[in-house]
């Protein structure tokens, strides 16, 4: 046996050596911001790599769909998508793969900021324009950040609760997104600012991990355990829908639910508002269309784009839900 094992080991080692011997250098230029590649203009062909944190989330699926749809309108663009399935390591690997493929531009929606910072920086320093969507990376080694502000959207939700739902003060339960994720923290902190000084109290809170079923389960416990809750603030619409179901179950029909994201899809928050399950939601734009527009400016028009492009937050209530839905799905 040992003989065979040794044979296998040496085979493996041999393979490793072969692997390390072949291939030529292409990437240890290192250091310093590289010069951006010369702009090819309207006559060129461009490959764009899209690195998505997790397509299993409807919001991110819609982001990819928005990018796909917008890119179909630019004949020079070919778009390749990668899905990191919520895994930081995998996303780093996929960006490295894109660099190996020598893409012309990177669009990335990072799973988390810090772990993705260095590979984004690497791409940027190799002269690949980088558009960061939705969640930021650290530092300023990217071409443009496009996204809305999670803190701000939380604040707007808080203000809505204070002004429209509980003008005389009252009790709120909070369903939080995945613990440890930055949007969960920012949507929570923003909300607290929004309801500040209005005699509104967050009497109970729980982690719903962004999920509808977990949201329902947690809301069920919160509503049973803490009497007197008037409003449930959910960090996203699916958890809000779960809270609505829990309230129905408990026979608490007076409870109002506020969500976030406002996805313009059939199963999304805007439709839920229209149907009266949510009292309101706030559109957190995916930035997909805007990213392709920025890519077109950079690659085809050879122009600069602003370093930060804040996207507008929009409040959706029963009055404007149908209109917003139609507008966000119109044209191209």
Partner 1 sequence: MIAWLFRFQSLFGLVLVFLAAVIFSPVRNGELLFLDSGNLFNVVRAMSEIGILAVGMTFVILVGGIDLSVGSVLGLASVGAAVLLVRQDFGVLPAVLVVLAAGLVFGLLQGVVTAKLGIQAFIVTLAGMQIARALARIWSGGQGVEIAYGDAPGRAPLAFSLLGERTFNGLVPIPALIFAVVAGLAAILLRVTAFSRHIYAIGGNEKAARLSGVPVNRVKILVFGLCGLLAALAGIVHAGQLNYGGPNDGSMAELDAIAAVVIGGASLSGGRGTVVGTVAGALLVGVLRNILTLNNVDSNIQLLIIGLVIVAAAGLQRLRPAAVG
Among 102, 226, 248, 303, binds partner 1 (CB under 8 A): 102
Q: How far is the CB of 95 from partner 1 (least distance, A)?
A: 10
The answer to the question of residue 17 lying near partner 1 (CB under 8 A) is no
Among 61, 97, 265, 322, binds partner 1 (CB under 8 A): 97
Of 281, 228, 227, 225, nearest to 257 by C-alpha is: 281
Which of the ranges 92-100, 128-136, 161-169, 287-295 carries the binding residues for partner 1, by CB under 8 A? 92-100
Total residues at interface with partner 1 (CB under 8 A): 51
Question: How many other C-beta atoms lie within 10 A of the C-beta of residue 101?
Answer: 10
Of 11, 17, 18, 72, nearest to 296 by C-alpha is: 72
Q: Return the CA Rg of the chain.
A: 23
Q: Report how far residue 229's alpha carbon sits from residue 227's, in angstroms, rounded to the nearest whole number.
A: 6
Q: Report how far residue 84's alpha carbon sits from residue 197's, in angstroms, rounded to the nearest whole number.
A: 41
The answer to the question of residue 96 lying near partner 1 (CB under 8 A) is yes
The answer to the question of residue 181 lying near partner 1 (CB under 8 A) is yes
The answer to the question of residue 118 lying near partner 1 (CB under 8 A) is yes
Q: Report how far residue 259's alpha carbon sits from residue 237's, in angstroms, rounded to the nearest whole number.
A: 5
Taking the least distance from each CB to partner 1, the nearer of 2 and 168 is 2
Among 19, 38, 228, 251, binds partner 1 (CB under 8 A): 19
Q: Report how far residue 171's alpha carbon sits from residue 231's, in angstroms, rounded to the nearest whole number.
A: 7
The answer to the question of residue 317 lying near partner 1 (CB under 8 A) is no
The answer to the question of residue 304 lying near partner 1 (CB under 8 A) is no
Which of the ranges 32-40, 82-90, 192-200, 244-252 carries the binding residues for partner 1, by CB under 8 A? 82-90
Phi and psi based region of residue 180 (left: phi greater than 0; alpha: psi -120 to 50; beta: remaining): left
Which of the ranges 77-85, 165-173, 214-222, 236-244 carries the binding residues for partner 1, by CB under 8 A? 77-85
The answer to the question of residue 85 lying near partner 1 (CB under 8 A) is yes
Site for partner 1 in 228-257 (CB under 8 A): none
Q: What's the CA dihedral at 257, 260, 263, 268 to 10 degrees?
A: -30
288-313 CB burial, b ≥16 within 10 A, e <16: bbbbbbbbbebbbeeeebeeebebeb
Taking the least distance from each CB to partner 1, the nearer of 181 and 230 is 181
Rule CB under 8 A: which residues touch partner 1? 1-2, 4-5, 8-9, 11-12, 15-16, 19-20, 22-28, 30, 55, 80-83, 85-90, 92-94, 96-97, 100-102, 112, 114-115, 117-118, 138, 178-182, 185
């Amino acid at each position: 046996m040992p003989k065979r094992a040794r044979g296998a080991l040496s085979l493996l080692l041999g393979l490793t050596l072969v692997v390390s011997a072949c291939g030529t250098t292409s990437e240890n230029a290192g250091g310093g911001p590289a010069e951006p590649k010369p702009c090819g203009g309207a006559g060129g062909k461009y490959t764009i790599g899209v690195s998505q944190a997790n397509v299993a989330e409807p919001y991110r699926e819609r982001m990819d769909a928005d990018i796909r749809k917008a890119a179909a309108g630019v004949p020079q663009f070919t778009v390749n998508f990668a899905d990191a399935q919520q895994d930081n390591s995998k996303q780093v690997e996929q960006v490295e793969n894109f660099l190996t493929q020598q893409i012309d531009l990177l669009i990335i929606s990072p799973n988390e900021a810090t772990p993705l910072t260095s590979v984004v920086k690497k791409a940027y320093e190799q002269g690949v324009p980088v558009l960061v969507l939705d969640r930021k990376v650290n530092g300023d080694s990217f071409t443009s950040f496009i996204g809305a502000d999670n803190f701000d959207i939380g604040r707007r939700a808080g203000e809505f609760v204070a002004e429209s739902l509980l003008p005389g003060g009252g009790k709120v339960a909070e369903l939080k997104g995945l613990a440890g994720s930055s949007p969960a923290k920012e949507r929570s902190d923003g909300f607290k600012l929004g309801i500040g000084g209005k005699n509104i109290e967050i009497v109970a809170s729980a982690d719903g991990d962004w999920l509808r079923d977990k949201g329902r389960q947690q809301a069920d416990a919160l509503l049973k355990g803490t009497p007197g809750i008037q409003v449930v603030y959910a960090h996203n619409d699916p958890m809000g829908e779960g809270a609505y179901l829990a309230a129905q179950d408990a026979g608490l029909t007076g409870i109002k639910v506020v969500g976030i994201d406002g996805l313009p899809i059939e199963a999304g928050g805007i439709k839920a508002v229209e149907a009266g399950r949510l009292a309101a939601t706030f559109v957190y734009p995916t930035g997909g269309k805007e990213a392709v527009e920025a890519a077109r400016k950079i690659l085809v028009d050879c122009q600069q784009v602003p370093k930060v492009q804040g996207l507008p937050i929009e409040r959706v209530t029963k009055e404007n839900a149908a209109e917003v839905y139609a507008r966000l799905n119109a044209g191209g």
